[in-house]
Amino acid sequence: MRDILYPQSEWMAQILSVASEICETFGYRRIETPIMEEYELFARSIGKETDIVTKEMYVFEDKSGDILSLRPEGTAPSVRAFLEGGLLSRGLPQKIYYTGPFFRRERPQAGRYRQFHQIGVEAIGSDDPLLDAEIISLSFEFFRRFKLSQFSLELNSVGCPRCRPAYTAKLKDFLEGVSGELCNDCKARKEKNPLRVLDCKNPSCGSLLRGAPKILENLCPDCETHFSEVCNFLQMMGYSYTLNSRLVRGLDYYTRTTFEFKFEGLGAQSTVSAGGRYDGLVEELGGPSLPAVGFSLGVERLMLAMDEEGFNFNPGGIEVFIASTVTNRSKVLNLLRKLRESGFSSDADFMQRSLKAQMKHADRLNAKVVVIIGEDELSRGELVVRDLVNSKQFTVKEKEIVSRVGEMLERIKRGNGD
Task: State pLDDT tens for residues 311-348.
Answer: 888 777 899 999 999 988 999 999 999 999 999 999 99
Classified by CATH at the fold level, domain 8-163+219-308 comes out as: BirA Bifunctional Protein; domain 2 (3.30.930)
Contact 300, 181 (CB under 8 A): no
106: left (phi over 0), alpha (psi -120 to 50) or beta: beta
Residue type, 42: F
84 exposed, middle or buried (CB, 10 Å; 0-12, 13-18, 19+)?
exposed
pLDDT at 418 over 60: no
202 falls in which pLDDT band (50, 70, 90)? Answer: confident
Nearest residue to 386 (alpha-carbon basis) of 192, 206, 401, 131: 401
What does the pLDDT read at residue 415? 83
What does the pLDDT read at residue 283? 95
CA distance 272 to 150: 12
Whether domain 320-414 has CATH 3.40.50.720: no
Give the lowest-confidence range in 56-70, 177-191, 281-295, 356-370. Answer: 177-191
Q: Where in the chain is the domain with CATH 3.30.930.10?
A: 8-163+219-308
According to the 3-state scheme, what is the secondary structure of the chain? Answer: CCCCCCCHHHHHHHHHHHHHHHHHHCCCEECCCCCEEEHHHHHHHHCCCCHHHHHHCCEEECCCCCEEEECCCCHHHHHHHHHHCCHHHHCCCEEEEEEEEEECCCCCECCECCEEEEEEEEEECCCCHHHHHHHHHHHHHHHHHCCCCCEEEEEEECCCCCCHHHHHHHHHHHHHHCHHHCCHHHHHHHHHCCHHHHCCCCHHHHHHHHHCCCHHHCCCHHHHHHHHHHHHHHHHCCCCCEECCCCCCCCCCCEEEEEEEEECCCCCCCEEEEEEECCCHHHHCCCCCCCEEEEEEEHHHHHHHHHHCCCCCCCCCCCEEEEECCCCCHHHHHHHHHHHHCCCCEEECCCCCCHHHHHHHHHHCCCCEEEEECHHHHHCCEEEEEECCCCEEEEEEHHHHHHHHHHHHHHHHHCCCC
How confident is the model over 283-294, as a mean pLDDT?
Answer: 96
CA distance 48 to 188: 13
CA neighbours closer than 13 Å in the CB half-sphere of residue 139: 34
How confident is the model over 404-412, as a mean pLDDT?
Answer: 95
Task: State pLDDT tens for residues 347-362.
Answer: 999 999 999 999 999 9
210-213, long-range: CB < 8 A, 24+ apart: 211/174, 212/171, 212/174, 212/175, 212/246, 213/167, 213/170, 213/171, 213/174
417's CB contacts (< 8 A; 6+ apart) are 387, 389, 390, 392, 411
Query: 368 or 194: which carries more pLDDT confidence?
Result: 368
pLDDT at 228 over 60: yes
pLDDT at 77 over 90: yes
Contact 282, 127 (CB under 8 A): no
CA distance 375 to 325: 7
Residue type, 331: K
What does the pLDDT read at residue 244? 93
How confident is the model over 54-60, as a mean pLDDT?
Answer: 91
Q: Given CA atoms 256, 230, 244, 120 in this order, what sign does their dihedral have?
A: negative
Give the lowest-confidence range in 195-209, 230-244, 353-367. Answer: 195-209
How confident is the model over 200-214, as a mean pLDDT?
Answer: 87
Contact 195, 159 (CB under 8 A): no
Task: State pLDDT tens for residues 96-144.
Answer: 999 999 999 987 776 678 999 999 999 999 999 999 999 999 999 999 9
Contact 175, 182 (CB under 8 A): yes
Nearest-10 crossing angle of helices 39-46, 75-84: 110
How confident is the model over 14-39, as a mean pLDDT?
Answer: 97
Nearest residue to 33 (alpha-carbon basis) of 41, 23, 21, 22: 41
pLDDT at 87 over 80: yes
Contact 269, 302 (CB under 8 A): no
Task: Please state, rounded to an integer, the average pLDDT across all residues of the chain.
Answer: 93
CA distance 391 to 394: 10
300 falls in which pLDDT band (50, 70, 90)? Answer: very high
Q: Where in the chain is the domain with CATH 3.40.50.800?
A: 320-414
Question: What are the angstrom distances between the C-alpha of 155 and each of 38, 82, 416?
Answer: 32, 27, 47
What does the pLDDT read at residue 28? 98
